[in-house]
Amino acid sequence: MTISKITCGAFLLSLGLLTSCGEKFLEEAPADQITDANFYQTQQDAIQAVTAAYSELTKEGQYNLAMWAFDIMADISVTGGDDGNDGIEYKQLEAFSIPSTNPVAGRLWGGAFIGLQRANIVLQKVPNIANMDPAIQRRCLGEAQFLRAKYYFDLVRVYGDVPLFTTPPTGQEQVNIPRTPAAEVYKQIEQDLTDAIGNLPAAYSGADLGRATKWAATGLLAKVYITEASMGDASKKALAAQRAREVITGSGKTMWANYADNFKVANENNNAKESLFEVQYVNGRNEYERNSVGSAMNEFFGPRGANQTPGSGYGFNVPEPDFVNGYEAGDTRKAASVWVPGDVFPNGAVQAAKATGSPFGYNCKKWFVGKVNTNIWDSPLNVPVLRLAEMYLILAEAVGPTPEGFEAINKVRRRAFGVDSNTASAAHDLSASNTPDFTGAVLRERKYELAFEFDRWFDLKRYNGTQYGLIPVMTAQAAYLRSLNIGAQRGIPTATNLVLPIPQSELDTNPALVQNPGY
């Protein structure tokens, strides 16, 4: 699906409205017989329209395919899978030899634009619905503002300049527009999140758990500001720190004492704990389908052929040896994130020392739930997009090697080693005396805290031009893998690879678009 084909609200709604009731608010409902003429009449219509804007998060354009690329393109993992062309779309990304027809680049573009155009429709239509609870109306607008910002944040980081839509296009002449400078896109993202903070509630209950809150919007704004700051706008550091502090002190959130508790079905959408925003997944609804409401990561990332998942595991997104070896002794995040040889599976079997696609016997564990049912690509495990721990790391990055910065990073480190996050630890705390490179320490902590949460490529590219940037880090990574006689497809990035190509399908249908240099 391309943005050039998304021309009116009725067509967008025909792509699949979702209801707001049930086990999770993103459960599917029929969407036939819905048109502009008979919709946007009631409060329930507004809620369904907003929920439709969330739905793209669960699909191939976001967390069920495209976002997987951003650890594989970094120094966390390699494609894995079987030999030959298995996972060729990721192998192209891993090699930094990416055609404009790459399916990952195409799906992320298409899915994000579908989602943000649905948000645009909400922002256009919902203010005109009469007899609607004003609080629900504000909430719906805030959710749409948050989602439009989230989709655009992904787009601008992945592609650079992108077409900026703040209202739904009604004709082809409004669709075929040129790319907007990234600075203007970031400005719109900031405005949307600021508006969302004023419109969204602090928490939800019942069937609405999982919807965006003011703290989700505040946390995402902190992440936007620190991204801009690291790319050269130093004025955004103070703003990033301010927003991170607001979440830390005002949200009522606390970090789980056990890192692994962030990634358990039983702990999803807990108002009092660490997660600020999660992509909602429900199992039992789909089989071989990544554009529904079940997560495929349990199957795709499960150890290949280990018979621990309904389809026996595909073994993609395989941790790299130096990443695994980089865990400090006693770091509990390793056991929560990575299968290593000798690990015992739920059925008593043991992780092998070598497997297809994983010559060192490592596999991604973070999204493993086992055989939750007989459906193949259908896990119920939500994906945390923003967590309180990241707010501490954003604060640390923003304020630097100050007492506040060291305390913020140390809270995350203490939890990683099983120590109370509020209690100083001589064994694990960083300080001015033992940390000559504070920025490097923060980025390293992000690497291990957020591993397999699809952030690492973004961290490397936002530090382009420094020793922490994509090109030097991945050049060294390629050399390391080749020294082990593995990772032959791992390429060496150039400045071209700081963005992905504009999908060829978009260039073919929109003459106003221009391809990124080098593609």
Answer whether residue 184 is part of any domain.
Answer: yes
Looking at the structure, tell me whether residues 184 and 252 fall in a common domain.
no
Report the range of poorest mean pLDDT among 36-50, 199-213, 392-406, 460-474. Answer: 36-50
Q: What contacts 24+ positions apart, CB below 8 Å, involve 157-161?
A: 157/227, 157/458, 157/461, 157/462, 158/105, 158/108, 158/499, 158/500, 159/109, 159/499, 159/500, 159/502, 159/516, 160/499, 160/516, 161/185
Query: pLDDT above 70 covers what percent of the chain?
Result: 93
Cβ pair 118, 34 in contact under 8 A = no
pLDDT category of residue 33 using cuts at 50, 70 and 90 = low
Query: pLDDT above 90 covers what percent of the chain?
Result: 87
Question: Is 60 exceeded by the pLDDT of residue 202?
Answer: yes
Looking at the structure, tell me whether residues 117 and 168 fall in a common domain.
yes
Looking at the structure, tell me whether residues 242 and 390 fall in a common domain.
yes
Q: Which domain holds residue 217?
A: 210-277+386-447
Average pLDDT of 217-224?
Answer: 99
Question: Is 60 exceeded by the pLDDT of residue 105?
Answer: yes
Looking at the structure, tell me whether residues 10 and 129 fall in a common domain.
yes
For residue range 287-343, what is the model confidence (pLDDT) as tens digits? 999 999 999 999 999 999 999 999 999 999 999 999 999 999 999 999 999 999 999
Report the C-alpha gap between 386 and 393 in whole angstroms. Answer: 12
Answer whether residue 375 is part of any domain.
Answer: no
Question: Is 60 exceeded by the pLDDT of residue 15?
Answer: no
Looking at the structure, tell me whether residues 156 and 86 fall in a common domain.
yes
Could you tell me which residue, 517 or 373, shows the higher pLDDT?
Answer: 517
Q: CB neighbours of 127 closer than 8 A, spacing ≥ 6?
A: 137, 141
Answer whether residue 405 is part of any domain.
Answer: yes
Summary mean pLDDT of the chain: 92
Phi-psi region of 101 (alpha: psi -120 to 50; beta: other; left: phi over 0): alpha
SS3 of residue 76 by DSSP = coil
Answer whether residue 397 is part of any domain.
Answer: yes
Number of H helices, E strands in the chain: 19, 6
Q: CB neighbours of 505 closer than 8 A, spacing ≥ 6?
A: 2, 101, 106
Looking at the structure, tell me whether residues 101 and 223 fall in a common domain.
no
Answer whether residue 398 is part of any domain.
Answer: yes
Looking at the structure, tell me whether residues 185 and 256 fall in a common domain.
no
Average pLDDT of 96-112?
Answer: 98
For residue range 355-385, what is the model confidence (pLDDT) as tens digits? 888 999 999 999 999 998 889 999 999 999 9
Give alpha helix (H) positions in 212-289.
214-230, 236-250
Cβ pair 80, 305 in contact under 8 A = no
Answer whether residue 33 is part of any domain.
Answer: yes
For residue range 58-78, what is the model confidence (pLDDT) as tens digits? 999 999 999 999 999 999 999
The last residue of a domain, from among 404, 420, 447: 447
Would you say the C-alpha torsion 329, 330, 336, 340 has a positive or negative sign? Answer: positive
SS3 of residue 238 by DSSP = helix
Looking at the structure, tell me whether residues 38 and 186 fall in a common domain.
yes
Answer whether residue 153 is part of any domain.
Answer: yes
Question: Is 50 exceeded by the pLDDT of residue 480?
Answer: yes
What would the two tokens of residue 315 be? 């073994």
Q: How far apart are the first and last CA of the chain?
A: 21
Report the C-alpha gap between 334 and 209 in whole angstroms. Answer: 29
Looking at the structure, tell me whether residues 168 and 233 fall in a common domain.
no
Report the range of poorest mean pLDDT among 15-29, 34-48, 246-260, 492-506. Answer: 15-29
pLDDT category of residue 1 using cuts at 50, 70 and 90 = very low
Cβ pair 7, 170 in contact under 8 A = yes
- Which pLDDT score, from 0 to 100, does residue 32 have? 52
- How many domains does the chain contain in total? 2
- Which pLDDT score, from 0 to 100, does residue 8 have? 33
Looking at the structure, tell me whether residues 179 and 55 fall in a common domain.
yes
CATH code of 163's domain: 1.25.40.390
Q: How far is CA 452 from CA 121, 149, 334, 367, 511, in A?
A: 33, 22, 12, 9, 37
Looking at the structure, tell me whether residues 266 and 412 fall in a common domain.
yes
Cβ pair 6, 15 in contact under 8 A = no
CATH code of 244's domain: 1.25.40.900
Looking at the structure, tell me whether residues 102 and 135 fall in a common domain.
yes
Answer whether residue 316 is part of any domain.
Answer: no
